[in-house]
Amino acid sequence: MKLYIDSTKLKLERIETVVQLRKKNRNEMIDKIRNIDSTFDDNGEIDMAVTSNASLSPELIKGLWNPDINVVKRKVFMLRKLLCVENPPIEDAINANILPRLNELLNCDMEEIRFHIAWILTNIACGFDEHIGAIVNSNCLDSLIKILKSQQDSQRVLKQTVWTLSNIAGENVRYRNLLINYDIITSLISLVDKTTTHIDVKIQAIWCLSNMCRRKDSPTPIKEIKQILNLAAKLIYSDNEHILRNSLWILAYICDGPCERMTLVLESGILDRLIEIVLHPNQELINPALRTIGNILAGSEKQTQLAIDASVLPVLINIAGAKHISKFIRKEAFWALSNIAAGNPSQIKQLIDDGGLKVVKSVFEEDNMQLQKEGLWSLCNMLGNAEGTYDIAESIVSQGLLECMIRLLKKNDFKIVDKTLDCLYKIFNLGEEKQPNFFTYAFEELDGMDVLFELQYKQSDVLFKKSQRIIINFFHSDDDTSD
């Protein structure tokens, strides 16, 4: 049975709460992409064999072994179309044991056949682990590596080959490491550096390199990271936005790992360029640039300070508060700010001095619960710091955040109310350093107690216990208790 308490009720033992610091938690860039085309053939004629029955026919399979190379070309083209439809029959293709034959044809003299097969392998590699395993076991991967390393094939075959390798690298650590052992990184960098390489091939190669940098749980070896970083540090000055975007994702993934990798990025001298890109009108560029900066800010105190010294704070605050910018980008900016808020007291003070609390207050006054949650994370990180000070709490209260938090307690959203209660507990706890507790007094003056009492009757046991804990520890009377 719950024991409901008002301001005159039972005093219980004070319990501290620990606010978890959110350092990094965002969706990743898509790691594997199918190459989809229309259902029209190269002559613009609709391929009825594909559109009317998207299944792998015995005639198609048999045709791959036809002695007439033109028949083979037609069947390979049809197979490519078949694997471009929604829910392609990848399993059927593998079970039909056609991969060894595709590997043979991948080494034939007809460029068009090689192109279609590389495309087929791209879409098979977009499947599951076992599908990629079939590519490896059939020696198709060896043939793809051979095409990449020779760099003598047509640009469209090279592009499709690299696309397949990108999908393989994006599957898991095991396949990424397998490709590292093949030393494809050197070949990819060479392909990008070549002046004769078509721009589309370069873009694909850079995306493949970004996939080689992923997997924070099992980081890419530092030797390979240095190779890729040297290239990316040059490419982020490119005028081509596709090259720029993929290069930025390389940096974001490199920084999403051990601090030594962030140090390498900082030593490359590109921080000012990253901040410049954050101001770019193209939000597809802003996103990875913000992610990279946010990851740097999630590093050591020294790394965080280097970013602050580069004047990143005003830029992040402006983005976080800009209503004309997409919610997703603003969330990224708030996430980066929350990493500063998890820093030392000096860094938190600089965040406050530069207007960090003002932007949090402004988003609390918006009707956007996602951004309100982001603002709460920043406050919780400021207050949750082991060295959280009275001055930090005083700044929060004096800038009108208490009134905003009382309104947030009325939201019908568990996460918002839960995190608001965490913030209030820390504020009131810091207020105990000086008596009387000015923060609890200000809360009562704003009629916050009425809202707090109501939370005891919520269905959530978590909210019940947290609201009760605040009442008991900061608004109790030693004399009166009641059931």
Q: How far is it, in rounded angstroms, from Cα 161 to Cα 117?
A: 9
Residues 6 or more apart whose CB falls under 8 angstroms from that of 239 comprise none
Q: Would you state the pLDDT for residue 177? A: 97
Are 58 and 98 in contact by the 8 Å Cβ rule? The answer is no
Tokens of 350: 């600089």
Q: Would you state the pLDDT for residue 30? A: 56
Residue 420 falls inside a structural domain: no
Q: Would you state the pLDDT for residue 34? A: 65
- Cβ neighbours of 364 (radius 10 Å): 22
Same domain, 209 and 231: no
- Which residue type sits at 97? N
- Cβ neighbours of 54 (radius 10 Å): 17
Residue 466 falls inside a structural domain: no
Residues 6 or more apart whose CB falls under 8 angstroms from that of 128 comprise none
Q: Would you state the pLDDT for residue 384? A: 79
Same domain, 290 and 219: yes
Residue 174 falls inside a structural domain: yes
Same domain, 182 and 225: no
Are 405 and 421 in contact by the 8 Å Cβ rule? The answer is no
Q: Would you state the pLDDT for residue 240? A: 98
Are 377 and 334 in contact by the 8 Å Cβ rule? The answer is yes
**């009425």: which residue's tokens?**
450
Q: How far is it, in rounded angstroms, from Cα 214 to Cα 454?
A: 47
Tokens of 377: 């994370």
Same domain, 121 and 251: no
Q: What total of structural domains would you count in the chain? A: 2
Indicate the residue among 186, 213, 240 that finishes a domain.
Answer: 213
Residue 88 falls inside a structural domain: yes
Same domain, 221 and 184: no
Q: Is the peptide bond before 100 cis (omega within 30 degrees of 0)?
A: no
* Torsions phi, psi for 11 (to 5 deg): -90, 125
Same domain, 64 and 92: yes
Q: Along the 483 residues of the chain, how does pLDDT read in single tens digits? A: 434 333 223 222 221 222 233 333 333 445 666 677 643 344 433 344 444 345 789 999 999 999 999 999 999 999 999 999 888 899 999 999 999 999 999 999 999 999 999 999 999 999 899 999 999 999 999 999 999 999 999 999 999 999 999 999 999 999 999 999 999 999 999 999 999 999 999 999 999 999 999 988 899 999 999 999 999 999 999 999 999 999 999 999 999 988 999 999 999 999 999 999 999 999 999 999 999 999 999 999 999 999 999 999 999 999 999 999 999 999 999 999 999 999 999 999 999 999 999 999 999 999 899 999 999 999 999 997 655 689 999 999 999 999 999 999 999 999 999 999 999 999 999 999 999 999 999 999 999 999 999 988 877 899 999 999 999 999 876 554 444
Same domain, 75 and 183: yes
Q: Would you state the pLDDT for residue 216? A: 86
Same domain, 72 and 121: yes
Q: How far is it, in rounded angstroms, from Cα 244 to Cα 277?
A: 10
Q: How far is it, in rounded angstroms, from Cα 443 to Cα 437?
A: 10
Question: CATH code at 179?
Answer: 1.25.10.10
Q: 177 lies in which domain range?
A: 54-194+204-213
Closest CA to 182 of 234, 140, 145: 145
Q: How far is it, in rounded angstroms, from Cα 89 to Cα 84?
A: 10
Q: Would you state the pLDDT for residue 54? A: 55
Same domain, 136 and 71: yes
Tokens of 313: 């704070």
Residue 403 to residues 379, 438, 439, 443, 444: CA-CA distances in angstroms? 14, 14, 11, 8, 10
Same domain, 231 and 208: no
- The 10 Å CB-count burial string (b at 16+, else e) for 465-482 is ebbbbbbbbbbbeeeebe
Same domain, 68 and 184: yes
Q: How far is it, in rounded angstroms, from Cα 483 to Cα 472?
A: 13
Residues 6 or more apart whose CB falls under 8 angstroms from that of 146 comprise 107
Secondary structure in 3-state letters for the chain: CCCCCCCCCCCCCCCCCCCCCCCCCCCCCCCCCCCCCCCECCCCCECHHHHCCCCCCHHHHHHCCCCCHHHHHHHHHHHHHHCCCCCCCHHHHHHCCCHHHHHHHCCCCCHHHHHHHHHHHHHHCCCCHHHHHHHHHCCHHHHHHHHHHHCCCCHHHHHHHHHHHHHHHCCCHHHHHHHHHCCHHHHHHHHHHCCCCCHHHHHHHHHHHHHHCCCCCCCCCHHHHHHHHHHHHHHCCCCCHHHHHHHHHHHHHHHCCCHHHHHHHHHCCCHHHHHHHHCCCCHHHHHHHHHHHHHHHCCCHHHHHHHHHCCHHHHHHHHHHCCCCCHHHHHHHHHHHHHHHCCCHHHHHHHHHCCHHHHHHHHHCCCCHHHHHHHHHHHHHHHHCCCCCHHHHHHHHHCCHHHHHHHHCCCCCHHHHHHHHHHHHHHHHHHCCCCCCHHHHHHHHCCHHHHHHHHCCCCCHHHHHHHHHHHHHHCCCCCCCCC
Q: How far is it, in rounded angstroms, from Cα 191 to Cα 461?
A: 59
Residue 118 falls inside a structural domain: yes
Residue 319 falls inside a structural domain: no
Same domain, 82 and 223: no
Residue 449 falls inside a structural domain: no
Residue 446 falls inside a structural domain: no
Burial class (CB within 10 angstroms; exposed 0-12, middle 13-18, buried 19+) of 435: exposed
Closest CA to 77 of 53, 113, 131: 113
Indicate the residue among 154, 182, 213 that finishes a domain.
Answer: 213
Indicate the residue among 232, 264, 297 that finishes a domain.
Answer: 297
Are 115 and 109 in contact by the 8 Å Cβ rule? The answer is no
